[in-house]
Structure 1
Amino acid sequence: MPMSAESVKNSKVWRAARLSVAPMMDWTTRECRYLHRLLSRETLLYTEMVTAPALVRGGALHLLDHDPIEHPVALQLGGSDPVELAEAARLGAAAGYDEINLNCGCPSDRVQSGAFGAILMQTPELVADCMRAMAEAVSVEVTVKCRIGVDDQNPEEVLPDFLDKIRAAGVRRVTIHARKAWLKGLSPKENRDIPPLDYDLVHRMKAAFPDLHISINGGIATLEEAEVHLAKGLDGVMIGRAAYHQPADVLAEADPRIFGTGEASDPVAVVQQMLPYIEAEMTKGARLHQITRHMLGLFAGRPGARQWRRHLSEGASRPGAGPALVEEALNLVLARAA
């Protein structure tokens, strides 16, 4: 049974969406999300995009693995078949995810060939069918992450029509990447930088759809910028690359500044908290590099950051490397800060 509008608005995940870390392929793995959760207890975390065919046809249920500490955590799905997405959503909800999100924003060729991602901006009726099927399949909230348009579409016309149709399908929360996606002629990396940002359009959409919870995404790199968007009336802000490359800058003060709860976290204490996690994961067969690659930017802009990054980058892939290497790297940071 889908959630009622009132229960959605009162849910923990609705409140957590005030600040979220964007789903990013190869980056927001479960190891990354564990680190981010230690930095912020409140921020909403997203998985990498998981394709519905991989779960339903491929049986790749290991892609749903996550640690209980990650909550609130959302599963992002890629797909365009309502029946298959409904089944994938059921699998995600059964795995314990707090939210199921549909990717309508990724512009990569691989995603386009599967008829999902940003190309779905061209077929809002299909997106509405997908969202309706997903909502009917699960009791957790279903949401959308989209662009303002694609290719030669006029965002002023396309975006409100898109939002109107998914709202009619029961969607109450949407994250809008404030750039167009160019499906031909730009690489996925270029699509993150070259199309101009139109923050004002996203703010106008909030005014036009006051009942929707609207988060803004794209080019936002600091808590200061996030606070500006929230002060202007948006419900949430999603930060991507900055949260990954400078996680402490974005997440360490998120709880007191964005949510008004708790205290700022200490990156040194976070590293110490990661040590038993690293040891436990390595006993299951993980390699140190799988975890520490997400930790390289933890001290970005702080004394000892270069030594930290170099020690982990050079040593984590060596045979026998383990938690002791991380402690050595941390001691280099502490020595520089003394």
Structure 2
Amino acid sequence: MKAKHNARLSVAPMMDWTDRHCRFFHRQLSRHAQLYTEMVTAPALVRGNALHLLRHDPQENPLVLQLGGSDPVELAQAARMGAEAGYQEINLNCGCPSDRVQSGCFGAVLMTQPNLVGEICAAMQAASPAEVSVKCRIGVDEQDPHEALPKFLEVLSQAGVGHVTIHARKAWLQGLSPKDNREIPPLDYPLVLAMKAEFPHLHISINGGITSLAQARGFLDQGLDGVMIGRAAYQRPADLLLGADAEIFGQSSTTTLQSAIDAMRPYIARELAHGTKLASITRHMLGLFAGKPGARHWRRVLSEQAHRPNAGLEVIDMALDAMAQAATAPAEAGSQL
């Protein structure tokens, strides 16, 4: 199994969120955290030739391509395409509970077909030099996770998979929306920890409900190999990623909020020159100052101004100026009393 140092902390694949602009932005905050693409379906690549879905900047690495599908032949071909596009790790989605993946018989549905998943993973590995990993739930619907999850991991292990990320919630494919499936089923962290003890040779990352670096560090200290953070890393990127290199990876970092913004400027200018709309990039930056003075003004200016025709880098400066003015306003008001 390849070294999985960067998987000590990763940002979860999130549909409509972790696109290439988001990933480039997150990389400015942490040099070491592992990033994931949105889920890309194998049919879109193989039948639709949607190669634009594989587009990424080399600076995004370490980066994992997540694939969705259920046909071993098609997924093998998609894995080959991913490797040819430069991805060194390809992840099979066995955890998404949305209606779309259910109708396509993949995502969390695959938890009910472990032998098929083993066949898929073997086919992907045979077709591509990239490492193949899996993201799954602890179980679905009426499955007993204490029975279903060990069986699932055993099949993966026999298929040669070395890295598994486990979302510590069951998925209810009937009766709960995708949003509810992220929040309502209870978390079972002890079960994931038990799986690490039962399968010590597997690199096991935990996902679900993790909202701080301290919490992530706690799981690593308990013996898990990695921690994957989703919505918190997107909504509060500075809190989860800015200190990650030092806290999780033991690497010194001089990155600041200002230096991260400055690092985005050349990227934004380049993308604007290629026709990308500013809002397509800055929508991922709205939470950068979450919890800090002036954050509301930063969000407001970006939200209102980035959608304007021909909006450019001046909008970033307007947002920063609005924050600065908000920070000095109370002092000025006080001096006039």
Same fold flag (TM > 0.5): yes
Question: Which residue is 2:95 aligned to?
Answer: 105
Q: Do residues 262 (structure 1) and 252 (structure 2) align?
A: yes
Distance 2:5 2:276 in 1: 33
Give the match for residue 31 of structure 1. 21
In the aligned structure 2, how far is the partner of 1:196 from the partner of 1:207?
A: 21
Q: Which residue of 2 aligns with 1:236?
A: 226
- 270-279 vs 84-93, which moves further: 270-279
- Tell me if structure 2 keeps the 8 A contact 1:256–1:264: no
Decide which of 233, 239, 255 is 1:249's aligned counterpart. 239
Name the counterpart of 2:263.
273
1:168 equivalent among 158, 168, 173:
158
Counterpart secondary structure, 1:182: coil
Structure 1: runs of 5 or more not aligned: none
SS of equivalent residue, structure 2 residue 165: strand
State the partner residue of 1:77.
67
| SS of residue paired to 1:328 | helix
Alpha-carbon shift at residue 259 of structure 1 (Å): 0.2
1:20 to 10, 14, 17: 10
Secondary structure at the aligned position of 1:43 is classed as coil
In the alignment, is residue 221 of structure 1 matched against residue 224 of structure 2? no
- Matched with 1:294 is 284
* Larger Rg, first or second structure (1 or 2): 2
- Using structure 2 for the length normalisation, give the TM-score: 0.96
CA distance in 2 between partners of 1:200 and 1:334 (Å): 45
Deviations 1:16-50 (A, max 9, x none): 00000000000000000000000000000000000
1:1-338 to structure 2, matched below 5 A, reads: 5=1, 8-9=2-3, 14-263=4-253, 265-337=255-327
Task: Please give the alpha-carbon distance, in whole angstroms, between the structure 2 residues aligned to 1:96 and 1:191.
Answer: 33
Structure 2: tracts of 5 or more residues without a match? 329-337
Q: Deviations over 1:199-255 (max 9, x none)?
A: 000000000000000000000011011011000000000000000000000000000
What whole-Å deviation, never above 9, does each CA across 1:248-278 have from its counterpart, x for those lacking one? 0000000011000121521121111111111
- Please give the secondary structure, in 2, of the residue aligned with 1:293: helix
Secondary structure of 1:121's aligned partner:
helix
Counterpart residue identity of residue 39, structure 1: L
Distance 2:69 2:272 in 1: 33
Report the identity percentage: 64
SS in 2 for 1:259: coil
Runs of 4+ in 1 over 2 A off after TM superposition: 331-338
How much has 1:98 moved relative to structure 2? 2.1
**TM-score, normalising length from structure 1?**
0.96
- Conservation of the 8 A alpha-carbon contact between 1:253 and 1:264: no
Instruction: Give the alignment's Cα RMSD to 1 decimal.
Output: 0.9
What amino acid is aligned across from residue 162 of structure 1 in structure 2?
F
